[in-house]
């Protein structure tokens, strides 16, 4: 449904991972971690101008707030006259009340897309764990079966999760 948002964000993530893979092993977890950090920095860099305009608009609104309070006190019962006077104050001072809200509406789809892209990698990890994972322990080699690992069955006597382990 929102593929027009998901695809560019996913492409930026894959670009950063590809770029980092030139100097690091692509299978290392740190490569993905750095790619995600660089993705979030890229998104924040794209949102600098709307964020600055939002901050400027909110500062202007704070500057004219005494005038707005005075109008509300003066025309307390007449809402239409108060609205007309506030529009005049906004026009004279060059303030647009919605300018503080619009950048937020631009940011919401980007962060929904970021959430979706990062969440979709969970499915990839679940498929990758379908094969048994061998963990080297100091005392012995054990094998963790991913079906019990993903079900997260918790022991009632301990806070540690129970894993189905078998001798390798």
Q: Give per-residue pLDDT as tens, 57-90.
A: 888 889 999 998 998 888 888 888 888 888 998 8
Does the global pTM surpass 0.85? no
pLDDT score at 141: 44
Q: Give per-residue pLDDT as tens, 102-127.
A: 778 878 888 888 888 888 765 544 44
Weakest mean pLDDT among 28-37, 39-48, 113-122: 113-122
Residues in Cβ contact with 17 at an 8 Å cutoff, skipping those fewer than 6 apart:
26, 31, 32, 35
Which helix (H) or strand (E) covers residue 165, if one does?
A: strand 165-167
Q: How confident is the model at residue 53 (pLDDT cuts 50, 70, 90)?
A: confident
Q: How confident is the model at residue 42 (pLDDT cuts 50, 70, 90)?
A: very high
């Amino acid at each position: 449904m929102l593929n027009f948002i998901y695809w560019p964000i996913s492409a930026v993530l894959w670009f950063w991972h590809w770029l980092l893979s030139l100097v690091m092993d692509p299978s290392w977890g740190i490569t993905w971690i750095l790619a995600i950090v660089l993705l979030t920095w890229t998104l924040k860099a794209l949102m600098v101008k709307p964020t600055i305009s939002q901050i400027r608009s909110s500062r202007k609104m704070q500057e004219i707030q005494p005038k707005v309070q005075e109008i509300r006190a003066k025309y307390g019962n007449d809402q239409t006259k108060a609205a007309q006077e506030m529009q005049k104050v906004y026009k004279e001072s060059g303030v647009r009340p919605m300018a503080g809200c619009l950048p937020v509406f631009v940011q919401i789809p980007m962060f929904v897309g970021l959430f979706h892209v990062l969440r979709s990698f969970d499915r990839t990890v679940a498929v990758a764990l379908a094969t048994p994972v061998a963990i080297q322990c100091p005392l012995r080699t054990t094998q963790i079966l991913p079906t019990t690992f993903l079900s997260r069955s918790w022991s009632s006597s301990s806070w540690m999760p129970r894993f189905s382990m078998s001798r390798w």
